[in-house]
Structure 1
Amino acid sequence: MNIIIQISYLIASILFIIGIKMLGRTKTARQGNAVSSVGMFIAILATVVQVEAISLVDILICIVIGSAIGLVIAFKVQMTKIPEMVALFNGFGGLASLAVALSDFWLNTQEKGIAVDSITGISVALSILIGGITFTGSIIAFLKLSGNISGRAIVFTGQHLINLILLISAISITVFALTDFSNPTYMVLLAVVSLIIGVLVVIPIGGADMPVVISLLNSYSGMAACATGFVLNNNVLIVSGALVGASGIILTQIMCKAMNRSLMNVLLGGFGQTSATGGEAADGPQIVVKEVGVEEAAQIFDSISSLIIVPGYGMAVAQAQHTIRELSELCEKKGVNVRFAIHPVAGRMPGHMNVLLAEANISYDKLIEMDEINDDFANTDLVFIVGANDVVNPAAKTNPNSPIFGMPVLNVEKAQTVIVSKRSMGKGYAGIENELFGADNCLMLFGDAKQTITKLVGELKEL
């Protein structure tokens, strides 16, 4: 039986690796998700067979309850709320690792009186520390994304010193715990400290850095699961946790590179903190915009031969992806070359725009990454920006005083004409004015994106 279980774990691990590889491309992401799900199903079955702590009936009840909750979430949560949901999932993953490691440690040392070796003790400590940080850090990220607390950086005097003291305390508690496993107080205290650290390391990070934070917390949840695998001596948990941890770190690094920032810079204070102290130097002079109506915009669309659409989080909020698809199809019927420019950090989590556009059945080959399409803006008749802000702000290239200076952005200002669909002149996550909106070739199309684009499509059909 043990051989069958280990073979099942091996098959599950292989499916995890294949699934993650497939998730790296938009065209194969759906299949990759399915492959990974099959791997997880196999791993769960293999684990259930060997569980002795609780009965099979209890396990099935938990599976039914968990599956029911998952189905409700899958059908109820809107696409705009996916980042918040991912943050919560990361947090629950961390909490599960903390709870499992702590309960296993308690069971062995207090209930069974089994002596725990140093390797297992260190694994327990790492599971508790990383799991606790992941849980509360993810909850704070969720609250910021959902608007329940301010998305700006929350800072106070001596914050970094307090974090350092807490980290040193966590290490000291772990050392004491390793010298006296008979006293469970140390591990419980470590759990409390880790939960506090999780709050303090995320609150100073601004909303503009949330894509990076989500990636990093995802990595943390994987590392916590990997450490828990060593506690339970479970190979598939070690492998899957390591995969999530490594891929999360890689994705985090990619996101930081896309924003031209270091991970340390993100962790020590996000855009929100910088922009809050930047004042007028960051915002620059008040810009003057030129508005355009739906009828005028339709006439511009009717006269072009090339179009690049730039989606942003505002498109997600307005649920305008389906009307965007209708607009693009209508333009293509008129002989217009239509493409979508995707910035790596557009939206509130990595790949957010890709998911939304894929949901609207927009062809994958039309979704072009920033590096591949940036040189094409100068030869484009019209750029249509829907709800994007910071990722199209020229200040990142021209204003050294701007908090986003140095961040790679889409070269939309080089197009012949730019139309921006936006509810109002509200600022983006970085909290600064967008210099693009005052450019000579930029026109502002104010209003709800879904309603405005629906009217625009109607006008185009009449033309």
Structure 2
Amino acid sequence: MSWLPTLIKACYFLAALLFILGLKRMSSPRTARGGIVWAGYGMLLAVLATFFLPDMHNRGLIIAAVLIGVSAAWWSGKRVAMTAMPQMVALYNGMGGGAAAAIGAVELIGYARGLGLLHAVPDTSPLRPESWAVNGLPPTLSPTELALGVLGALIGAVSFSGSLIAFAKLQGWLDKRFVFAGQRAVNLLLLAAAVVVGILLATGHASLPLILVFFALALLFGLMMTLPIGGADMPVVISLYNAFTGLAVAFEGFVLGNEAMIIAGMVVGAAGTLLTQLMAKAMNRSIGNVLFGSFGAAAGSEAQSIEGAQKPIDAADAAVMMAYAERVVIVPGYGLAVAQAQHKVWEFAQLLIKRGVKVKFAIHPVAGRMPGHMNVLLAEAGVPYDLIADMDDINPEFPATDVALVIGANDVVNPLAKTDPASPIYGMPILDVSNAKHVIVIKRGKGTGFAGIENALFYADNTRMLYGDGQAAVGELVTELKAIDA
């Protein structure tokens, strides 16, 4: 079947087109669902084509692994709540990096065996049997393939362990930060050691002890790099590790000679890199500052004291204020996700719209715990896309807004980002909620946000606090608004 390799390459090419077109469609909320489906079809086509590679072995084990993975993904996709999507994305992203690192490990062990250093290792690679040289034959990995395999393994291992820490933080299993004196120096030493060992492996000095040391250093560096990062930086961290995973997959695809892996990895790596830059820009910080600046570590030590007191309001007065307003802007945050209040919020917005109130939703680029978190929640509730505005578009409209309703957002509406140079979030672009004529904040209590920074907005003269669970508080607003219309 001389035509089979050509058919497989054609399938890979079609899969690559589906990846790229799917990613393009994901750039708009209106077409994002279709984009995910297109990319899914591309991945299915690439996987099926791979099974027909002439040198593929252990198909039974691979099918079993695929079935286990698909079953776990299907179950978690159905069961995991929207509030837990950020940590699920972090976990799945880590699995991709771990898979790339595992491929690199297989290739390095095969290379070492080909050098005659690992005679006891069985010749059972299901991925690239021809690279497992036997009987003293020279290894088939070229110097370029070996170097890219080591680099992909390093990046994949860092993404794997770092994503697991990000998952644990978002899940609430770890403290938001872990810092100690000399931490940056320790991290740099770990990275330098991993690079040195990687260079030894890439220059042909492969042995099982050296391979084990290499992966131990890479995994440890991923852990240590992520532990000191504050929770408010998680959107950037998730995007960055997504880019790492894509690059690792692309490098290992080159080693395996698999075009689908190369293209998919490059697309994911490029998209993750661009998204990371956008997230960092939205926080007015460099990626290096995110990784090494210990953002959020200054929790509870804000330099600028905040005068005044938080002024409460009840649901009846808040409902009346918005019922007779001309313009209302609703600002969702992670508290809305925790309370699963998106459906109630949209019900409340619809009641306002029926009264002739102009309603918009304002989304900060890093609101929630991952990029696009709030957009997904609002889309799930059925909010029309034309009512959702980005930060740059909505900020000029706040001075003409009668009421800004903030639900669970904290750091992304904190005026200290503009007024206090000593604040950890100083310089971060925010939603200019404080410029609205009136501000109503729905909040469970008087605590600080995820970054641990006090919010000056809550003490402003034009701000009133509606305390309580997000869904319950909005439910009260709906009840009071209906009573006005009755």
- Of stretches 298-307 and 130-139 in structure 1, the one that deviates more from structure 2 is 298-307
Alpha-carbon displacement from aligned partner over 1:204-236 (angstroms, at most 9, x marks no partner): 111111110000000011011011101211111
Q: Check the 8 A contact 2:150/2:198 in 1, yes or no.
A: yes
Q: 1:363 to 1:45 in 2, by over 3 A?
A: same
Match of 1:85 in 2: 88
Distance, in Å, in 1 between the alignment partners of 2:206 and 2:290 is 40
Match of 2:128 in 1: none
Question: Is 1:404 aligned to residue 425 of structure 2?
Answer: yes
Match of 2:461 in 1: 440
Q: Check the 8 A contact 1:306/1:382 in 2, yes or no.
A: yes
> Which amino acid is the alignment partner of residue 176 of structure 1?
L
Give the Å deviation of 1:186: 2.2
Distance, in Å, in 2 between the alignment partners of 1:149 and 1:62 is 30
Distance, in Å, in 2 between the alignment partners of 1:306 and 1:355 is 24
Q: 1:175 to 1:15 in 2, by over 3 A?
A: same
TM-score for both structures, normalised by structure 1: 0.96
Alpha-carbon displacement from aligned partner over 1:424-451 (angstroms, at most 9, x marks no partner): 1111122111111111111100001101
Distance, in Å, in 2 between the alignment partners of 1:103 and 1:364 is 46
Question: Is 1:141 aligned to residue 166 of structure 2?
Answer: yes
Q: 1:307 to 1:107 in 2, by over 3 A?
A: same
Q: Secondary structure at 2:31's aligned position in 1?
A: helix
Q: Check the 8 A contact 2:200/2:206 in 1, yes or no.
A: no
The number of residue pairs the alignment matches comes to: 459
Match of 2:180 in 1: 156
Q: CA RMSD in A?
A: 1.4
> Which amino acid is the alignment partner of residue 130 of structure 1?
I
Tell me, which stretches of 5 or more residues in structure 2 are unaligned? Answer: 114-122, 124-131
Give 1:366-405 correspondences, 5 Å limit.
366-405=387-426
Matching residue within 60, 63, 81 for 2:63: 60
Q: Check the 8 A contact 1:125/1:187 in 2, yes or no.
A: no
Tell me, which stretches of 5 or more residues in structure 1 are unaligned? Answer: none
Where do 4+ consecutive residues of structure 1 move more than 6 Å? Answer: none
Matching residue within 240, 259, 280 for 1:216: 240
Match of 1:120 in 2: 145
Q: Secondary structure at 1:74's aligned position in 2?
A: helix
Match of 1:75 in 2: 78
Q: Check the 8 A contact 2:302/2:423 in 1, yes or no.
A: no
Q: Check the 8 A contact 2:247/2:268 in 1, yes or no.
A: yes
Q: Check the 8 A contact 1:327/1:457 in 2, yes or no.
A: yes
Give 1:41-52 correspondences, 5 Å limit.
41-50=44-53, 52=55
Match of 1:225 in 2: 249
Match of 2:117 in 1: none
Distance, in Å, in 2 between the alignment partners of 1:171 and 1:442 is 53
Match of 2:338 in 1: 317
Give the Å deviation of 1:127: 1.8
Distance, in Å, in 1 between the alignment partners of 2:206 and 2:266 is 30
Give the Å deviation of 1:171: 2.0
Matching residue within 356, 361, 365 for 1:335: 356
Match of 1:16 in 2: 19
Q: Secondary structure at 1:419's aligned position in 2?
A: strand
> Which amino acid is the alignment partner of residue 138 of structure 1?
S
Matching residue within 277, 296, 306 for 1:253: 277
TM-score for both structures, normalised by structure 2: 0.92
Matching residue within 314, 334, 347 for 1:326: 347
Give the Å deviation of 1:372: 0.5
> Which amino acid is the alignment partner of residue 34 of structure 2?
Q
Give the Å deviation of 1:52: 4.3
Matching residue within 36, 39, 51 for 2:39: 36
Distance, in Å, in 2 between the alignment partners of 1:51 and 1:72 is 33
Task: Identify, as 1 or 2, the structure richer in helix.
Answer: 1
Match of 1:346 in 2: 367
Question: Is 1:264 aligned to residue 285 of structure 2?
Answer: no
Question: Is 1:26 aligned to residue 50 of structure 2?
Answer: no
- Of stretches 231-240 and 154-163 in structure 1, the one that deviates more from structure 2 is 154-163
Identical pairs, percent: 45
Q: Secondary structure at 1:26's aligned position in 2?
A: coil
Q: Check the 8 A contact 1:206/1:269 in 2, yes or no.
A: no
Q: Check the 8 A contact 2:150/2:202 in 1, yes or no.
A: no
Distance, in Å, in 2 between the alignment partners of 1:436 and 1:339 is 20
